[in-house]
Amino acid sequence: MWKSIDLRIQAVKDEQLGWRCEILRATLIHEDGRAPSSWMRPPAIPDLLILHEYWPISRLDDLVSMLETGDLLIGGEHVTVKRHVGNQQYSPSSFYMRSYDRTEANQRYGLDWKTMVLSAWEGFSSSQELNRAREKVDSQLQSGDPPWDGIADVRRNFIGMTEDEARRSDFMSCEVVAPLFLRFGPCIVDGDTLSLDLQMERTVNPADVGIAIMFLFGDQSAGRTRMDLGKGDHEVAGGHVTISADLPEIASSAMTVLTYRKVSVDRRRMFKAASMAETRQWLAFRTFVGGPAELSETLKTTKGGDPFEHAVSTLLHLLGFATGHYGQNTFGGDMTDLFATYSDGGWSLVVECTIRELDLAAKIAKLVTRAKSVARTISGEVYPTLVTRQPRTDISDTAREDAARERVILITGDDLDGLVQLAAELPSPEKVRNHLLRLMPTQIR
């Protein structure tokens, strides 16, 4: 399935260890390795090591062995990948394996595939000395040619870390990332026929691919079947193969699970007579208000309270949600500002809106409580969602960590224009969901 290893590392000079790894990400890819782009290479700095190499997949065992010993040889440099165990003693880092589904992998790694990750992580306390050293390196990167906006820029755009992770300086992360290059594409129900589009890279053997289909009437089973690509006359063209199956007349939906070598890699539930995205929302908005520019301006400048909530509700409406604007100003009592749902997609948002909140952690705690209360009464996934006009850099670490732990979608002032642009593209529910989930802060282990 993989042909090469895209290996990127950021290390710092340590008086005791030499080069000490802060961030390492090795991503297994389906292409042959190529020479790294020179414009993407940060400038050389005496106390900072940034390397990028492509290794053939045959060296995966070498990489894992070096990580197990805590001594990595890359680009002619020895880099230590170890954890501090006290008294100036270090031992090899402990690794563990976990999997991320498509939405989680998209949020964390920008990979729209189910992904397996071999990971080691170590947190450590920050200090004035470390902070001064970081500021010095940031200044050198900003003064370099080409310029980079500090370590956070390197981690975000060179390593590929999320915005929240990239800014932190209190942990070491080492990851071997293995995406499974197989997923569902557009899938539809046309009458009583289920049509499944499978997307795969050329390195995937179709004989290893299977599909489990559970036909449902409501939540009750109406039939089950399994299909194996290796047993049928299925031709893969341009990385796609289309599979069709008859839907029992009694069935109202189908749950499909895509497998590779008996490992689940993707799942999709489809409903009969699923509604297609239309432009009526935008036609009405343009008639009464204007275009995307007017919506963006309103989101940025309107007053807090009901006016801002109305603007956010309109944005969600244009993204395809059915929205309800509650709020205590209308119905009284302690209730959520907005409820938004994709009924056909089986997922919903419980939304709180604020222009600027002094205690976001408390607001998040109340939001999560409300979302859990709603989740106990309706089917499908319910995501607590906080919308604030504050920039993401103003969100405290405590609030971000709370949001990450509770899986809160955090929409900040930096994200509003992007969501308006997304709405103007008339996106599918899946694309909207993936976009919103990427706004969920990443939990630092």
- Between CA 365 and CA 25 the distance in angstroms is 33
> Are both 172 and 192 inside the same structural domain?
no
Burial of 326 (0-12, 13-18, 19+ CB in 10 A): middle
> Are both 17 and 51 inside the same structural domain?
yes
> Are both 226 and 144 inside the same structural domain?
no
User: Is the pLDDT at 274 greater than 70, yes or no?
Assistant: no
Which of 271, 289, 313 terminates a domain? The answer is 271
pLDDT number for residue 278: 45
Whether residue 79 lies inside any domain: the answer is yes
Q: What is the CATH number of the domain that holds 402?
A: 3.40.91.70
User: Is the pLDDT at 66 greater than 50, yes or no?
Assistant: yes
> Are both 173 and 187 inside the same structural domain?
no
Mean pLDDT, rounded, for 207-229: 88
Which of 179, 202, 228 terminates a domain? The answer is 179
> Are both 152 and 188 inside the same structural domain?
no
Whether residue 373 lies inside any domain: the answer is yes
pLDDT number for residue 369: 93
Q: What is the CATH number of the domain that holds 193?
A: 2.60.40.10
Task: Give the tens place of pLDDT for each residue, 159-176.
Answer: 999 888 898 888 899 999
Whether residue 359 lies inside any domain: the answer is yes
> Are both 64 and 97 inside the same structural domain?
yes
pLDDT number for residue 35: 66
User: Is the pLDDT at 439 greater than 80, yes or no?
Assistant: yes
Whether residue 328 lies inside any domain: the answer is yes
Whether residue 444 lies inside any domain: the answer is no
> Are both 217 and 312 inside the same structural domain?
no
> Are both 161 and 256 inside the same structural domain?
no
Mean pLDDT, rounded, for 33-61: 83
pLDDT number for residue 265: 96
Is the omega angle on the peptide bond into residue 292 within 30 degrees of 0, that is, cis?
Answer: no
Whether residue 120 lies inside any domain: the answer is yes
Whether residue 75 lies inside any domain: the answer is yes
Residue 198: band (very low, low, confident or very high) from pLDDT cuts 50, 70, 90: very high
Helices and strands in the chain, H and E counts? 13, 23
218-223 long-range contacts, Cβ below 8 Å, gap at least 24?
Answer: 218/252, 219/379, 222/248, 222/250, 222/251, 223/248, 223/251
- Please tell me the total count of domains within the chain: 3
Domain carrying residue 287:
280-437
H or E element that contains 217:
strand 209-217
pLDDT number for residue 210: 95
Cβ atoms of residues 368 and 408 within 8 Å: yes
Which of 223, 240, 271 terminates a domain? The answer is 271
> Are both 175 and 47 inside the same structural domain?
yes
| CA 6-8-12 angle, 5° bins | 165
> Are both 396 and 313 inside the same structural domain?
yes
> Are both 213 and 103 inside the same structural domain?
no
Residue environment code for 113-135, b if the CB has 16+ CB neighbours within 10 A, otherwise e: bbbbbbbbbbeeeeeeeeeebbe
- The one-character DSSP state at 60 is H
Cβ atoms of residues 326 and 336 within 8 Å: yes
- Between CA 274 and CA 247 the distance in angstroms is 14
> Are both 39 and 123 inside the same structural domain?
yes
pLDDT number for residue 218: 61
Whether residue 376 lies inside any domain: the answer is yes
Mean pLDDT, rounded, for 219-246: 85
- Between CA 64 and CA 72 the distance in angstroms is 9
